[in-house]
Chains A and B, each alone.
Chain A
Amino acid sequence: MSIVSSVSDDGKELVISIQGRFDFSAHQDFRNSYEALTVQPSHYRVDMDETTYLDSSALGMLLLLRDHAGGNTASIEIINCSSDVKKILTISNFEQLFTIH
């Protein structure tokens, strides 16, 4: 598991990439990736291109991010999901809370 994040030049977008398994062990790194920023981005992207599996604590972490980014007004995209990852997100009705690609 490793988390890599990058902010766009204008500071408006944050991309968080999760590699490997997304579970509780990613919690600290995942949180740091958005809490440590001095300027709040207006848009978030969670890149799951290299995410192999996720569990329910990962779902909790995504929700933490969503509340941090403004809850119902948050603009968060989850991109590059594999079919396995997408299945888990869909079962938990996450498409109602996030834009999933």
Chain B
Amino acid sequence: MTAVRIRGLGKRFGPVTALNGARLTAQAGEVHGVLGENGAGKTTLLSILAGLLPADEGEILLRGEPVSIGSPREARALGVGMVHQHFALVPEFSVLENLMLGWPGPLLSLPREEVRGKALALEKETGLDVALDAPVKTLGVGERQRAEIVKVLLQEPAILILDEPTAVLSPQEVEGFLRLVRTLADQGTAVLMVAHKLDEVLAVADRVTVLRRGATVLEAPREEVDAASLAQAMVGAREAGSVVHLREAAALQEERPPAEGDPVAELRRVVVVDGRGVTRLRDVSLEVRPGEIVGVAGVEGNGQRQLARVLAGEMAPTNGTVRLPPEPAFIPQDRRAEGLVEDFDLTENLALRLHRWPRFRRGPFLDWRTLEARTREALATFSIRAEGPHTRADTLSGGNQQRVVLARELEGEPEFLVAESPTRGLDVAGESYVHQVLRDLRDRADGPAGIVLISTDLDEILALADRFFVMVRGRLVPIHPGPDLRERMGAGMLGVE
């Protein structure tokens, strides 16, 4: 029986197209792997199915019936349950209280014993082991996930969505988890599982759907695919623009001798443990020399954010040594939240970094005249389309906003720059502009700069970088240039040996 059929699904977030005619068909009783690069639209697709987001176009059929799913509540009534990537558990509550939340029944009683009984039976049946009376905030991530799964399974969903469920698990936990997924499918549930790691998907899935740039590019039974063909489908060469980049990259790689000179930035055996006790960076060592772009590719959540923050001088490592130039230039990933103050005008946004520089102040006062003149120059230099230095930043398009960030960070000819997904959400023109700026900075005649480019976009790394790394589970793994670089990097970031 066809449990779910999705056709022609489209979804836009402002200027960004997240889904563009995606389709997916899954049968009851099968494990269905949903694959794709970051930003391919997997999570968006499944969020729509779970009632978390409205679709712009397309249709969803459950058991042959067309449905519209307006909220998580409606999704649940239709038998769709989702285990979120970021768990939807109230940290202050016990596991049992979380399980009772939203349990159907009278409002003036608490189905404590009923739910406890059902949960224990379910735990026995599936082998999921969760301490029901422990507050969620005291649990480790693996246990939290099991609690989340128990919560969703108690609703007896016909369609179970797992959004990157293994990302937070240890290898031992993953094995048990995959067995559980198999068991659930054998009991007749349609399991839709998003995963990055191809080996896990290949181990458990009956069918796979691969998304790329919001569209479905491959639908096949497990027997017809292997790691190579899936990786090819996921990261395979795309549209003309990136092919050009690739060619450029290939040409440049041949021409450029390895960078020499003293490193401008240096990490030695850096370890970062976050507030929850999760190790984000493991023994990361890196030297960046003037005149090179170090490319770091990786699937989101493998420690790149922490790497960027340490390199930008924003975050002190838990362990290891860091040597950086004073105030490194930094292009943060989220320009609206971290890169700009949207309520400020462009001069003020430039002043964010420049306001302490002697050139732009007179004693305790800011030299607005000089700042404004500098902004005016920057508008011209970086071809920023804005009325003037007093235009508010929130009235600019994403591409122009990013040019403002570039203008600010490149002020003073920095010898070291950290760029974190600098072209996210930009159109092709904006993307190639940013790339050109980075290249020019590296090749600057009067003192080339060292650049670390961190991106989830493999093409971007290939087009720009001189040396290549992937981040996997907090480790920085070097990838040697040469034939099949793309395939080897793709495999590396997906955790395939």
Same complex:
no
B residues near A (Cβ < 8 Å) are: none
Chain A residues in the interface with B (C-beta under 8 A) = none
